[in-house]
A and B are shown apart, each in its own frame.
Chain A
Amino acid sequence: MTYREAVRAALRKALRSDPSVFLMGEDVGRYGGAFAVSLGLLAEFGPERIRDTPLSESAFVGAGIGAALNGMHPIVEIMTVNFSMLAMDQILNNAATLRHMSGGQFHVPLVVRVATGGGRQMAAQHSHTLEGWYAHIPGITVLAPATVADAYGMLLAALREPDPVFIFEHATLYPLEGEVDETQEAMDISHAAARRSGSDVTLISYGGTLGKAMQAADVLNGDGISAEVIDLRALRPLDMRTILESIAKTHHAVVIDEAWRTGSLAAEISAQIMENAFDDLDAPVERVCSAEVPMPYAKHLETAAMPKVEEIVGAAKEMIPRHG
């Protein structure tokens, strides 16, 4: 099954098992979703539960918050993370705050799915990686499924949460093939996962960069460097413990983040490593991030702007000079 099919399968399972669940967003109904995730769901569940919305992110995210406050379990799809900026007021000032401002009287069990990331020649208004901004906000949970199994399991787990959960789906992952255990009950969404274990360097990645980190680990392995690859899975709250335990073993860390370097989630992780694992480090933490430009349209420029396998390999080798 593909990543796209896994999300669809999870949607279908949730819609079938819980009448309070519904999906809404731009083009999710008749068109089947900008990334064809919800293809066929309108026919199966009808327009009451698969709702096409006007092009107003603020309005339909706000409607989702209202529905959640009133006992529904809405799943809102935002076509790209760049468009989610229009809903920032609803997200930051309402979704994230109401539980706290009501002294716990209200919960907002809202799930928002957002397509994110570059690499598809969609240029600077459809290609950015802004998950790090959301990970800055207390009051919401931010997930970044990087595998097919997580794409399926995280959506179902998110629906069980009493408070808002944002799921960032990197748009290049939709065709990814993988295994899904559809019988799995509740997936853990609070821990990072070591996707590959190693002893010389820890590559910390999430979402769209996990594949690049895994490729880099293969290359490094060929050069005698054993890389451990961590998939963050949850961007907020961060599972620093898994990261720190890995660094206690490898003493070297490279953080890979498709966002811009300045003020990025990679910066936060790097800072926490420095704060909590200073004495374990054998070299400064390295970061591989996107170039600080609006994402270019031209293919070669877009490729040049985004994190590359060679950059990850280079960063790791530089820290472990015997192999450099």
Chain B
Amino acid sequence: MAEFVMPQLGADMTSGKLLRWRKNVGDRIQRGDVIADVETDKADIEVEVFTTGVIEKVLVQPEEKVPIGTVMAIIREEGKAAAVAVPPVSAVPAIALVPAPPTIAAPTVSAPSSPAEMGGPRLHISPVARKLAADLGIDPVTVTGTGPGGRITMEDIEHAAQAKKAPPVAEATLDRAARMRQIIAAAMTRSKREIPHYYLSTTIDMSRALAWLTQENLKRSVEQRLVYGVLLLKAVALALREIPELNSVWSNGKVMQCPDVNVGVAVSLRGGGLVAPALHHTDHLSIDDLMKNFSGLIQRARAGSLRSSELSDPTITVTSLGEQGVEAVFGIIYPPRSHSSASARSRNIHGRPRGRSHRGPC
């Protein structure tokens, strides 16, 4: 038997609301099938399953909001029982190809559900506080302990729960975009606090690429034209394939290289907010497929129909603000990713068109 749990679709997600089941008890499912729609503070997500088998039992009903990791369904596996698929730990970078507000140009940090799982220091929390946190859907990692030696006590969790509940009015009136802002702010703060950032910057000659793009687009119909950002995505993906050490995430206390290059694209949402879903196998896609997938991804992100794997497995985040006239971007890493890449505007220096690229720590 395998458990289908509420996935963590982004480091900043602590709980999700089941909108609907796409499959019923008794249905045969394949690894990769979308079996549920889940609402997070950021978007409505189509959640895929990582197990092939038959749905044995459904434990969560639509409209229920449950903490990440909550078992939502039991799946009777087919064939080898060993196939308890854990969602891939890969994480791809997001490229802010779409104008993203510069203030959020950076990716976030993750709140692992259990620090022990992430290989970090063991969480200092009392047993009853741990239980209460699970009951109330509070991520203990976000709570500051006031007990002896900084232990998180039951009272700390109660306070956190009150604080979370306190703006119930506010929560009702806050739209998703506003909530997303809060989450992004919290996640960015954590990232900057916990991940030692450093930045490298170099100047890249973009003249040939831009010339090629201009020529290429002249030959294409309006619908088929390529955007500049797609070239950046492809370039970053190829660079990662060349230097696989950078195509890695920080997981269980160590650097893990990811087999696939999944570049995350930062997409600004209407009404504010930002998501960074992954373009799978970015390095293997032709420029046309990349453009097609890229457009599709943005449309789906804005329509709120992203898939769970797209949200959880980018391996690098790319931010591109060049078209906004930005000259330099220093991003913030979105855990568990180990680095991010940013590119700024192409400009003419001494008659030569140039671009600039920065890379964060790896």
| Chain A interface (Cβ < 8 Å from any Cβ of B) | 251, 278-283, 318-319, 321-322
Q: Considering residues A279, A283, A318, A319, which has the most beta carbons from chain B within 10 angstroms of its beta carbon?
A: A283
Contact between B148 and A321, CB atoms less than 8 A apart? yes
Q: List 5 A-B contacts (CB under 8 A).
A: A280-B127, A283-B126, A283-B151, A283-B153, A321-B147
Partner of B153, one of A278, A279, A280, A282: A282
B192 vs chain A, min Cβ distance (A): 29
Partner of A281, one of B127, B146, B148, B155: B127
For B131, what are the chain A residues with a Cβ–Cβ distance below 8 Å?
A: 279
20 extra interface residue pairs, beta carbon distance < 8 Å, beyond A282-B129, A282-B147, A318-B148: A251-B126, A278-B127, A279-B130, A279-B131, A280-B127, A280-B128, A281-B126, A281-B127, A282-B126, A282-B128, A282-B155, A283-B126, A283-B151, A283-B153, A319-B147, A319-B148, A321-B146, A321-B148, A321-B153, A322-B146
Cα of A283 to Cα of B129 in the assembled complex, Å: 9
For A282, what are the chain B residues with a Cβ–Cβ distance below 8 Å?
A: 126-129, 147, 153-155
User: At the interface, is chain A mostly helix, strand, loop or mixed?
Assistant: helix
Within 8 A of A (CB), among B134-184: 146-148, 151, 153-155
Contact between A281 and B128, CB atoms less than 8 A apart? yes
Could you tell me how many residues of chain B have their Cβ less than 8 Å away from some Cβ of chain A? Answer: 13
For A278, what are the chain B residues with a Cβ–Cβ distance below 8 Å?
A: 127
From B129, which residue of chain A is reached at the shortest CB distance? A282
| Chain B interface (Cβ < 8 Å from any Cβ of A) | 126-131, 146-148, 151, 153-155
Number of A-B contacts (CB under 8 A): 35
Cα of A283 to Cα of B128 in the assembled complex, Å: 9
Cα of A281 to Cα of B129 in the assembled complex, Å: 8
A201 vs chain B, min Cβ distance (A): 12
Cα of A322 to Cα of B131 in the assembled complex, Å: 21
Smallest CB-CB A-B distances: 5 pairs: A282-B154, A282-B126, A282-B128, A279-B127, A279-B131
For A281, what are the chain B residues with a Cβ–Cβ distance below 8 Å?
A: 126-128
Partner of B155, one of A279, A280, A318, A322: A322
For A279, what are the chain B residues with a Cβ–Cβ distance below 8 Å?
A: 127-128, 130-131
Cα of A318 to Cα of B154 in the assembled complex, Å: 15
A130 vs chain B, min Cβ distance (A): 32
Cα of A280 to Cα of B129 in the assembled complex, Å: 8
Contact between A251 and B146, CB atoms less than 8 A apart? no
A202 vs chain B, min Cβ distance (A): 13
Cα of A283 to Cα of B155 in the assembled complex, Å: 11
From B131, which residue of chain A is reached at the shortest CB distance? A279
For A251, what are the chain B residues with a Cβ–Cβ distance below 8 Å?
A: 126, 128, 154
Contact between B146 and A283, CB atoms less than 8 A apart? no
For B154, what are the chain A residues with a Cβ–Cβ distance below 8 Å?
A: 251, 282
For B148, what are the chain A residues with a Cβ–Cβ distance below 8 Å?
A: 283, 318-319, 321
B359 vs chain A, min Cβ distance (A): 44
For A318, what are the chain B residues with a Cβ–Cβ distance below 8 Å?
A: 148
